[in-house]
Structure 1
């Protein structure tokens, strides 16, 4: 029975991770993987930051909850905070349209945004605990 629970948990964690990445990809007016295939380093860095941030929130939600449902709920709460962080950061930088800068390959913006995602994931993770 323990093996079945572990397999189910692993399946749910992988599903949530990739669902989170899919939702993040819907937030940009361009296709993330197409930009990465073109060699757009800025989008690659940002996507890596999204993946790490999503994994941090998911890991903390999984570690602090024994129920898959509670883990999923806390992941959703944390994930909404990550999405809100993007929109707030975009709003707070009115002279810079983040998605346009990323599409143009601005590595500085990509690195900064990845750091914002990871920092927010750590901050949100501390709320989940």
Structure 2
């Protein structure tokens, strides 16, 4: 019974850490965009919702891979922060290498094609980053 209690405690701590990481990631990702994510999502901008959802999914992928290989909660937090930073860098670099298409402007306009492109990039890069961090 003791082992079961410790497993439940670990799950609870892991979920709490996941929420902290997701909230931090959401806030940091929102700072990178030129539009207000919350407002766009609230007004029904599907492209903004898809893009933010993709970033959250990508972050969950990174956290899952990091948690699999981490031996402490602190290590998990640190490597997850590295994952957030890596996703931010990927967004900035991709925005720089596509000067004819301003990604943030297109998402704010509701351009689903750009949102789907970014979704693929974010999820793919998250899998690679997560693998690097394992």
TM range, smaller chain: over 0.9
Give the alignment partner of residue 77 of structure 1, picking from 79, 82, 86: 82
Query: How many residue pairs align between the two structures?
Result: 129
Does residue 58 of structure 2 align to residue 53 of structure 1? yes
Cα distance in 2, alignment partners of residues 78 and 37 from structure 1: 27
Cα distance in 1, alignment partners of residues 52 and 14 from structure 2: 24
Q: Deviations over 1:35-71 (max 9, x none)?
A: 1121211111101111100111111111111200111
Aligned to 1:107: 112
For normalisation by structure 2, the TM-score amounts to 0.90
Aligned to 2:33: 28
Aligned to 1:62: 67
Q: Mind listing any 5+ residue stretches in structure 1 that lack a counterpart? A: none
Cα distance in 1, alignment partners of residues 42 and 13 from structure 2: 33
Cα distance in 1, alignment partners of residues 47 and 56 from structure 2: 14
**Which structure's CA Rg is the greater one?**
2
Aligned to 2:12: 7
Aligned to 2:99: 94
Q: Mind listing any 5+ residue stretches in structure 2 that lack a counterpart? A: none
Asked if structure 2 preserves the Cα contact closer than 8 Å seen for 1:17 and 1:58, the reply is no
